[in-house]
Amino acid sequence: MNIVLQSSLFTLNKSRILLFNLSDEKLSDVSIPPYFSSVGSHIRHILDFYDCIFNVVDNEVDLTARKRNLDVENCCNTAICYLDTIINKLEDLNDKDVKQQIVVIDDLGLGKTKIDYTFAALLAQANSHTIHHYAIISYILDRLGVTIEDATFGYNPTTPKQIIVE
């Protein structure tokens, strides 16, 4: 299996661990400042991004045309089902799929634009995007008093590790 696919699956499986160890109340809690977003809203956003990737029409992927399944934000079981759907789609991809040239439509702040990509590059972007949102989720969980038993959750693999000298 392609390394980009392996990385995406590895990263997304962290969502599974999180969702199996979180209550619906903690998933949907929007009490943490300054943005008052929930863990569930970030999980939904991550999965919507991946879901959008699989909507290739005329060799184009429109990242601005995401579904927004709000039920995912409030129910761990619904989020797990959505996650499983995304993981199954990723597992069905092959090397030819990943090497495919595509056009990505996105809004980078100045309106929609078309960008030449490979599917692998889009998956790599989705993986980095997921890790970025895991960092935000980590912050929310800390404020909610929820501990994750994964020291790498929310950290990009290139982030320098803090060395504690005793």
154, part of any domain: no
60, part of any domain: yes
pLDDT, one tens digit per residue, over 74-91 is: 999 999 999 999 999 999
**Spatial distance between the Cα atoms of 63 and 107, rounded to a whole number of angstroms:** 8
Q: Answer with the residue of higher pLDDT: 39 or 96.
A: 39
Residue 163 pLDDT class (50, 70, 90 cuts) = low
166, part of any domain: no
pLDDT value at residue 160: 66
Total count of domains within the chain: 1
**Spatial distance between the Cα atoms of 117 and 119, rounded to a whole number of angstroms:** 6
24, part of any domain: yes
Report how far Cα 80 is from the mean position of its chain's Cα atoms.
13
pLDDT of 93 higher than 70: yes
150, part of any domain: no
37, part of any domain: yes
The one-character DSSP state at 65 is: -
| Cα–Cα nearest to 137, from 52, 3, 47, 68 | 47
pLDDT of 162 higher than 90: no
- The H-or-E segment that residue 121 falls in is helix 119-144
135, part of any domain: yes
Structural domain including 71 reads: 3-144
92, part of any domain: yes
* Whole-number average pLDDT of the chain: 91
pLDDT of 158 higher than 90: no
pLDDT value at residue 16: 93
What CATH number should be reported for the domain holding residue 117? 1.20.120.450
pLDDT value at residue 154: 79
**Spatial distance between the Cα atoms of 79 and 2, rounded to a whole number of angstroms:** 26
Average pLDDT over residues 21-39: 94
